[in-house]
Amino acid sequence: MSHSALSKAWGANRAAIGPWITTDSEWSIETLAHCGFDFVVIDCQHSLLDEVSAGRLLKGLANAPAAGIVRVSRNEPGRIGRVLDAGADAVIVPLVNDANEAAAAVAACHYSPAGVRSFGPFRAGLGFDVKALEERVSCFVMIETRKGVENAAEICGVKGVAGVFIGPADLSVDMGLPPNAAFSDKPPAALTEAIDKVVKATKAAGIIAGKPAASAADAARSASAGFRLLTLGADRTLLRERAVQVMKEMTKGTAG
Ligand code: 3PY
Ligand code: MG
């Protein structure tokens, strides 16, 4: 069962949209979580945030309408369990290459006998109901290597995988392409085919496909291709883009 903000978007057959959180600021995450986004993703893999800072930042979402997702730094049950104990609504687990790795990510979200999560929720309000604690979280795995693409059908078929988030940068690098190849005007056919293969596998398994979107136009294209979880920028890039735009507009309006 997904967070209501995600289910609402998907129930309306639209993509859920949200930004990456890469800075250690309770004020920034709280502000962004009240901007109309469906979710925010705290990024413990490509920032200086770790799962401890993620736990603290999740507190900023206490009264927010947006879901709180955490991309953990690696596929490791201790890290996954910690952010779930701190109230994450979902995890995104990077670099999942095969069904065994996907099953390990899912197991980290479930208590015995289904999984390996250790019991110890510590966020006030989470309660102590094992079933409810398991059901409130979703496990997304990342496919971002050639091996992951090769095994896409098996990964998507693992019970408990809520969706696959594609990492186009890592996938491009693994394919010997520039990291931004997916966002060029004419992405290489091999990359497009690999991404299409993953999306097809998610559709066959009836699970969610996600990816970063480079722009609003890219988000629209991705949504019509079937993507239902799209990230659009990060806290730092959103701040910079708006600041540069405001400064430009104000300079124009105040020029002598
Ligand atoms: C990638 O593109 O590799 C990513 O991890 C995107 O977040
Ligand atoms: Mg990546």
What the block records as the tokens of 76 is: 């490791």
Mean pLDDT on 49-77 = 96
Which ligand has its closest atom nearest to the C-alpha of 211? Answer: 1
Q: In a 3-state reduction of DSSP, which class is residue 99?
A: helix
Choose, from 3, 34, 46, 110, the residue flagged as catalytic: 46
Instruction: Confirm or reject: Cβ of 168 under 6 Å from ligand 1.
Output: yes
Average pLDDT of the chain, as a whole number: 96
With the most atoms of ligand 1 within 8 angstroms of its CB, the residue from 39, 74, 141, 170 to mutate is: 170
Could you tell me which residue, 2 or 120, shows the higher pLDDT? Answer: 120
- pLDDT score of 25 more than 80: yes
E strands, the chain, in order: 16-21, 39-43, 67-71, 90-93, 138-143, 161-166, 208-212, 229-234
User: Number of folded domains in the chain?
Assistant: 1
Mean pLDDT on 148-163 = 98
The percent of residues in the chain predicted with pLDDT above 90, rounded, is 96
CA distances 13 to 6, 97, 195, 229, Å, are: 11, 29, 21, 11
Instruction: Confirm or reject: Cβ of 167 under 6 Å from ligand 1.
Output: yes
133 contacts 112 by C-beta, under 8 angstroms: no
Is 46 marked active-site? yes
Could you tell me if residue 243 is left (phi over 0), alpha (psi between -120 and 50 degrees) or otherwise beta? alpha
Q: The dihedral of CA 171, 175, 180, 182: what is its sign?
A: negative
Helices 99-108, 77-85: axis angle to 10 degrees equals 40
Tell me how far apart the alpha carbons of residues 193 and 254 are, in angstroms, rounded to a whole number. Answer: 50
Q: Which band of pLDDT confidence, cut at 50, 70 and 90, is reported for residue 15?
A: very high
3-state secondary structure 179-239: CCHHHCCCCCHHHHHHHHHHHHHHHHHCCEEEEECCCHHHHHHHHHCCCCEEEEEEHHHHH
Tell me how far apart the alpha carbons of residues 175 and 162 are, in angstroms, rounded to a whole number. Answer: 26
Residue numbers of the domain that contains 115 = 4-254
Q: Beta strand 39-43 with 138-143: parallel, antiparallel or unpaired?
A: unpaired
The percent of residues in the chain predicted with pLDDT above 70, rounded, is 100
Tell me how far apart the alpha carbons of residues 122 and 30 are, in angstroms, rounded to a whole number. Answer: 20
Between the CA of 169 and the centroid of ligand 1 the distance, in Å, is: 5
Between the CA of 144 and the centroid of ligand 2 the distance, in Å, is: 6
Q: Kindly report, residue by residue over 186-234, the tens digit of the pLDDT.
A: 999 999 999 999 999 999 999 999 999 999 999 999 999 999 999 999 9
For residue 85, give the nearest of 41, 125, 113, 31 by alpha carbon.
125
Mean pLDDT on 59-87 = 97
User: What CATH number is associated with residue 84?
Assistant: 3.20.20.60
Instruction: Confirm or reject: Cβ of 170 under 6 Å from ligand 1.
Output: yes
Between the CA of 70 and the centroid of ligand 1 the distance, in Å, is: 14
Instruction: Confirm or reject: Cβ of 174 under 6 Å from ligand 1.
Output: no
Predicted local distance difference test score (pLDDT) of residue 31: 96
Instruction: Confirm or reject: Cβ of 19 under 6 Å from ligand 1.
Output: no
Q: Which band of pLDDT confidence, cut at 50, 70 and 90, is reported for residue 253?
A: confident
- pLDDT score of 1 more than 70: no
Q: Which band of pLDDT confidence, cut at 50, 70 and 90, is reported for residue 62?
A: confident
Long-range contacts (CB closer than 8 Å, 24 or more residues apart) made by 189-192: none
Mean pLDDT on 31-39 = 97
Residues 6+ positions from 250 with CB-CB distance below 8 Å: none
Full-model pTM: 0.97
Predicted local distance difference test score (pLDDT) of residue 255: 82
Q: Which band of pLDDT confidence, cut at 50, 70 and 90, is reported for residue 173?
A: very high
Between the CA of 160 and the centroid of ligand 1 the distance, in Å, is: 22
